[in-house]
Structure formats: structure tokens, C-alpha cells
Amino acid sequence: MTNLFINKGIIHQTSCVNTPQQNSVVERKHGHLLNVARVIMIQSHLPKIYWSYSVIHTAHIINMLPTPVLNEFSPHEMLYKTSPDFNQLKVFGSLCYASTLSTNRSKFDSRTSKCVFIDFKKGDKRIYFVKKFNQEKFLCLGILFFMNMFFHIKGLKILAMKMTVQTFMIKIKICLQKINLF
Amino acid sequence: MHVSNKSIDVIKNKFPFVKYNKPFICDICHFVKQKRLLFLLSASKSKICFDFIHVDVWGPYSSSSIHGHKYFLTIVDDYSRYTWVFPLKQKSKVVKILENFLFLFKHNLRQQLK
């Protein structure tokens, strides 16, 4: 570890034992991350083993949202100097139909399989999915989203979920307005 | 054992004829009631991206994720507050991830890392 820092010319500042307060920026961020990740996990009704995906997805959302610390700019804007692509956002754990590989199917096989949205692929607009029964993750391009439905809810309670999607969209709209203002 | 400094002051003001020793360092006082000092706000302020990054490992979480992750590493850039999250199986992977991270962003974003 120290060799790495010496080679790269980095000054390494450490906090004292038992004082997480000194590392306040990250600890605060952890609190924020876990709060949102918990919400995502509960509303998507996914099993707990997917918590790592929810945390990654949360980081993705937080980077797009404007914060008062940066004068209502989003971290994405500060870093890349461009506004984030909001069309790419999808609701975590939402129902979607992914097309199956044409090589593996014959004429009378189903063209799609029912999946859950889990993760983005970095630097790519392709998306990861999870299948219901064998629970295997696979990459897919041709997909149809139903962002107001969640896969794991029994009987697919659409009404209640519509609200969450709406609030989500409102948040995004606010973001867009702020971007236009500045 | 002695009375507190405050009450000594009061006694001194009201009854000037009472003699007392000059303020002394009492071991027992420090053992019994020393508190934590206040945390000052960080003075360092960055002006460019990657001037200063905050890193922390969260975990271990009691139930591991589907790929066996128990920790996650968070990297926060001080200037832009951009967050990167890397799930980890062991804490020892931190060095490798940090190394890759530094390399990647030095070359991708073409900005000087400090």
C-alpha cells in the first residue's frame, strides 16, 4: 500500500483509531448510500443477496442528482462538464422482457424471457439482467421496460408502484429544470 | 480530591483571606473526566477534480451478496463529490482496486492526480 502511494506521488492522510469523524465526507456518503439502497431494496422486493447491486445502483443515481454542496450541480456535471443522460435511468428491480439469443431458439420458442433489471454495464448502454428461476445474470440489448411494475411482488401491485415511479420522474424533472437554469 | 476550579474562583472572590495553591495539574481529574476534543471541520479544500479523494471500506455485512461480497469500497472525489462504489470479497483487494482506479482515471480523464 505505501509503495503504491510513494510510486504515484500521493500524500496519504489517515484517520486516528476509532474516530470515523475524521473521515467525515465518506462516512456521510455511506449514510446516504445505505439509506437510498435500503429504500431500493425494500421497494423492489428483491432478495437480500442482491444488496451489492442496490448499492452500486444507488451510487449511480446519487451521482446524477444535484446537491446543495455543489450549488445545485450534480457530481456528474462537475466531473464530466456535461449534463447526465437521464433517459438511461431505469428503476431498480423493475420488470422487463429481454429478447433471447436467436441462435438458441427455434421458431416456436419464446422470443423473450421475463427478467428483472439489476445493473448497468459501465461505459455501455447495454444492461444486465437477472432471470427468475436459475438466477443467472446476463447481458442484454433488446429489452422492453415496465418501470411501474416490480418483478417480485405477488400479483404485481401496479397502483402503489406507479406513485414511486412518478415521484422518481418528478425528481428528474426538477434536475432538468435546474440544469436549464444554470 | 479537591473542589473544582470554578468553585475555587468563587471562594477566592468572596473570601480573599482564604489561601490556596496555584492551579495545579491533578492526575485524577484527567483520569476521571477527560472528554473527547471537538472535531474541527476539514481545512483542506480542493480546486480541481482528483486533488483530494476520500476512501473508506464499509463492512463486513453479515450476509454476503450473490457473488460473495461482504465489503464495499467507496471513493469520493472532494471537488466533484462523485462517488465510486466497488464491492469487495476481502479487504486485501483494496490495494489492487485503488491501483487500477488511479491508473484508469489518470489516463481516461487526462487530469493530473495528486
Cis peptide before B60 (omega within 30 of 0): yes
Residue A17: inside a domain, yes or no?
no
Say how many CB pairs under 8 Å bridge A and B: 92
Search chain A and give the residue with CA nearest B71.
A52
> What's at A148, amino acid-wise?
N
Q: Looking at A117-131, B45-59, B63-77, which range is the least confident one?
A: A117-131
pLDDT of residue B48: 78
Q: Which residues of B touch A48 (CB under 8 A)?
A: 63
Is the residue at A8 inside a domain?
Answer: no
- Is the pLDDT confidence value at B98 over 50? yes
Residues of chain A contacting B98 with CB distance shorter than 8 Å:
4
A16 in any annotated domain:
no
* CB atoms A55 and B87 under 8 Å: yes
Q: Which domain holds residue A111?
A: 24-181
Q: What pLDDT sits at residue A178? A: 58
Q: Report the alpha-carbon distance of residue A149 to residue B30 in Å, rounded.
A: 61
Q: Which three cell numbers stand for residue A146?
A: 415496465
Give the residue, A171 or B58, on which the prediction is more confident. Answer: B58
DSSP assignment letter at B52: S
CA distance B25 to chain A (A): 26
pLDDT of the residue at A61: 85
Here the cell at position B49 is 477534480
CB A143 within 8 A of CB A97: yes
Q: Assign domain B53-108 to its CATH superfamily.
A: Ribonuclease H-like superfamily/Ribonuclease H (3.30.420.10)
Cα(A153)–Cα(B45) distance, rounded to whole angstroms? 46
Q: How far is CA B114 from the centre of its chain?
A: 21
Closest by Cβ to B74, choosing from A4, A29, A53: A29
In chain B, helix, strand, coil percent, each to 5?
30, 15, 55
Cα distance between residue A101 and residue A111, in whole Å: 8
Cα B37 to Cα A14, A18, A19, A21, B40, distances in angstroms: 18, 13, 11, 12, 9
Burial grade of A101 (CB within 10 A; 0-12, 13-18, 19 or more): exposed
List chain A pLDDT tens, one digit each, 182 residues: 777 777 777 777 777 777 777 778 888 888 889 988 888 888 777 778 888 888 988 898 888 888 888 887 888 888 888 887 777 777 777 777 777 767 777 888 877 777 777 777 665 555 555 555 445 566 665 566 666 566 654 444 443 444 455 555 565 666 566 555 44
pTM here?
A: 0.73
Res B114: pLDDT: 40
Ordered by start, the domain boundaries in chain B are: 53-108
Domains: count for chain A: 1
Give me the pLDDT at residue B112, please: 43
Helices A24-44 and A51-64 pack at an angle, to 10 degrees, of: 120
CB A114 within 8 A of CB A140: no
- E strand spans, chain A: 94-99, 112-120, 127-131, 137-140, 143-150
**In chain B, what percentage of residues exceed pLDDT 90?**
4
Most B CBs within 10 A among A13, A32, A55, A65, hence the mutation to make, goes to A55
Selected residue with higher pLDDT from B51 and A179: B51
> If you measure CA to CA, which chain A residue comes closest to B70?
A52
Q: Give phi and psi for A147, each to the nearest 5.
A: -75, -10
Is A12 within a domain?
no
A-interface mutation test, from B39, B62, B74, B109, most A Cβ less than 10 A away = B74
Closest residue by Cα to residue A101 from A90, A112, A92: A112
Q: Tell me if A144 is assigned to some domain.
A: yes
**Which grid cell is A103?**
441462435
